[in-house]
Amino acid sequence: MQNRNASTSVPINDLSARRWSPRAFDAQRGVTPAQTAALVEAARWAPSCFGAEPWRFLVWNRATDAAGWQQAFDCLSDNNKKWAGKVPLLLMACAGTTFEHNGQANRWAQYDTGMAALALSLEAVAQGLVAHQMGGFDIGKARTAFGIPEDFMPMAMIAVGYQAAAETIEDEETRQKELKGRARKPLGERFYSGRWGKAAV
């Protein structure tokens, strides 16, 4: 299997360096209830504005809820369906649009839910798993299938499992994406010092 550790300009922590989003999953290895509990527990302790915890996560384990897992899989885009059929665990991250304590609009909810999803993804690495977050899914179909309230916005589907070799991906285009090297923009193009456009590093 591919070693896809980030090629960083300075040393960073091991979990962040090893986290990436593969598409090749081992269909023979499931995610245990204990591992699932650790994933969502990590997400639970993410920071949030006012400590509001605006996220909600739906969880489908193929081994214990095959019908629910299939419904979740059916919500995915065609491109994601090309590789996600071997994934043992699917989750959906949703963001609440209002604060529970005052009913006001929560414009930070999506930001906070993203942090919870990242915490889950890093915990996956710590558990020896991999996670791939997906924006390609049918929101309306998901709302209907799973009874998601209108005041919650489905943000992402997350595939979790054990990594497999890229050669196990049947679709050629998807397999080539899996083999493509990782890259990021230079720090100075995205991080600024004091004023917009002035490279921080």
Evaluate if residue 189 carries a pLDDT over 90. Answer: yes
Token pair of 85 as six digits:
């059929």
Question: Residues 36-53: what's their mean pLDDT?
Answer: 98
Evaluate if residue 16 carries a pLDDT over 70. Answer: yes
170 belongs to a structural domain: yes
7 belongs to a structural domain: no
* Residue 4 pLDDT: 83
Question: Residues 184-200: what's their mean pLDDT?
Answer: 94
* Residue 85 pLDDT: 98
Confidence band for 70, pLDDT divided at 50, 70 and 90: very high
* Residue 200 pLDDT: 87
* Residue 107 pLDDT: 98
CATH number, residue 153: 3.40.109.10
Total of domains in the chain: 1
Residues forming a β-bridge with 134: 157
* Residue 23 pLDDT: 97
9 belongs to a structural domain: no
47 belongs to a structural domain: yes
80 belongs to a structural domain: yes
Evaluate if residue 3 carries a pLDDT over 80. Answer: no
* Residue 181 pLDDT: 86
Confidence band for 1, pLDDT divided at 50, 70 and 90: low
User: Which distant-in-sequence residues (6+ apart) come within 8 Å of 186 by Cβ?
Assistant: none
179 belongs to a structural domain: yes
pTM of the model: 0.95
Domain around 107: 14-190
pLDDT in tens, 110-146: 999 999 999 999 999 999 999 999 999 999 999 999 9
2 belongs to a structural domain: no
User: Which distant-in-sequence residues (6+ apart) come within 8 Å of 101 by Cβ?
Assistant: 50, 52
With DSSP H G I counted as helix, E B as strand and the rest as coil, what are the percentages for the chain, rounded to 5?
A: 40, 20, 45
* Residue 25 pLDDT: 98
In order, the DSSP letters of 48-102 are -GGG---EEEEEEETTT-HHHHHHHHHTB-HHHHHHHTT-SEEEEEEEESB-TTT
Token pair of 72 as six digits:
């979740």
201 belongs to a structural domain: no
Token pair of 75 as six digits:
């919500």
- d(CA 88, CA 180) in angstroms, rounded, equals 24
Burial class (CB in 10 A: 0-12, 13-18, 19+), 117: buried
Token pair of 191 as six digits:
């991080």
